[in-house]
Amino acid sequence: MSTTPELTVALEDAAKFAFGKNWRRFLQSLNEERIAEAEKSLQNMLETDDLAGRSFLDVGCGSGLFSVAAIRLKAKRVHSFDYDPQCVACTQELRCRYFQDAVHWNIEQGSALDDGYLARLGTFDVVYAWGVLHHTGNMWQALENATLPVAAGGKLFIALYNDQGMLSRFWRQVKRNYCRSIFLRVPIILFFGTYILTAGLIKDLVLLKNPLARFREYKRSRGMSYFTDILDWLGGYPFEVAKLDAVFDFFRARGFELVKIKPAPRPMGNNEFVFLRRSRP
């Protein structure tokens, strides 16, 4: 599978959510507790206590939180890249904050749709692309490209939005409108934001749970923030989804073995997969 440079440019120039702006706000609330949760999520899914002796590629690094977590888990080399210059700046800011002298941490702008770029990076023991490839505008090509830098015996850790059929198509339209028109953005945030908050509140009341716990405990989900994730959900476009079986089949055909899976906790959430590459062609 390959994309022509013209098609890639067209896809990348289309309406896109300003992820970097959202991550910049998130950085204000980043603290030790969130970083520890990010580390835990890597340890849990990669089934390891640390990344000592291993290289780590952070595809679509966003805030840079997971690159920080990889450095703290003693990765020997970390390379972080994102399509959005503001995400690159966020990640650079985190390096200044926490690991100013980390010469084994490279950060740059790059695209998951650029197969030449990915091939030039060389190979990594862990390739991490959480919630990224479905936002590129060409998910299956991005999945193909993500296999390129995985070393033999290395792991590919990805998360992709769950395919909900009609409902996914509906949300895709909402996100598209959010990104296409500044005039639709505020009503979308007000209407669907209120809908998501109210649905959560009703669920908590029915289950006799403290509704405030939803906000306080959200950081247990990979160190993330409830409000950052709501905006990411409402505006995160381009938006594609995948069924579990389609992802298994895709990677099996390319010599990858599924070693860990975490199905989406909510139907509209991300399915997480860790694949092992036994050998390289």
Ligand X SMILES: C[S@@+](CC[C@H](N)C(=O)[O-])C[C@H]1O[C@@H](n2cnc3c(N)ncnc32)[C@H](O)[C@@H]1O
Region near ligand X per CB under 6 A, out of 28-36, 60-68, 200-208, 257-265: 60-68
Q: In DSSP terms, which residues pair with 124 in a beta bridge?
A: 150
131 Cβ partners below 8 Å, 6+ apart? Answer: 60, 62, 159, 160, 161, 270
3-state secondary structure 28-86: CCCCHHHHHHHHHHHHHHHCCCCCECCEEEEECCCCCHHHHHHHHCCECEEEEEECCHH
Interface pick for ligand X out of 37, 39, 84, 272 (rule CB under 6 A)? 84
Region near ligand X per CB under 6 A, out of 43-51, 79-87, 92-100, 261-269: 79-87
Site for ligand X in 7-26 (CB under 6 A): 19
Joined tokens for residue 35:
């970083």
40 Cβ partners below 8 Å, 6+ apart? Answer: none
The reply to whether 66 sits near ligand X by the rule CB under 6 A is yes
Q: Which is nearer to ligand X, 119 or 152 (CB)?
A: 119
Q: Which is nearer to ligand X, 18 or 204 (CB)?
A: 18
**CA dist list (Å): 158 to 29, 129, 136, 248, 263:** 25, 5, 14, 12, 12
Joined tokens for residue 269:
């959430």
The reply to whether 134 sits near ligand X by the rule CB under 6 A is no
Phi and psi based region of residue 200 (left: phi greater than 0; alpha: psi -120 to 50; beta: remaining): alpha
The reply to whether 67 sits near ligand X by the rule CB under 6 A is no
| Nearest distance from C-beta of residue 156 to ligand X, angstroms | 13
Interface pick for ligand X out of 67, 68, 78, 131 (rule CB under 6 A)? 131
Q: Tell me which residue has its CB nearest to ligand X.
A: 62
| Nearest distance from C-beta of residue 208 to ligand X, angstroms | 32
The reply to whether 62 sits near ligand X by the rule CB under 6 A is yes
The reply to whether 111 sits near ligand X by the rule CB under 6 A is yes
Joined tokens for residue 205:
């009341």
Coil vs helix vs strand at 186: helix
The reply to whether 229 sits near ligand X by the rule CB under 6 A is no
Phi and psi based region of residue 64 (left: phi greater than 0; alpha: psi -120 to 50; beta: remaining): left
The reply to whether 87 sits near ligand X by the rule CB under 6 A is yes
Region near ligand X per CB under 6 A, out of 106-114, 146-154, 172-180, 240-248: 106-114
Residue numbers of the site for ligand X (CB under 6 A)?
Answer: 19, 60, 62-63, 65-66, 82-84, 87, 111-113, 130-132, 135-136, 232
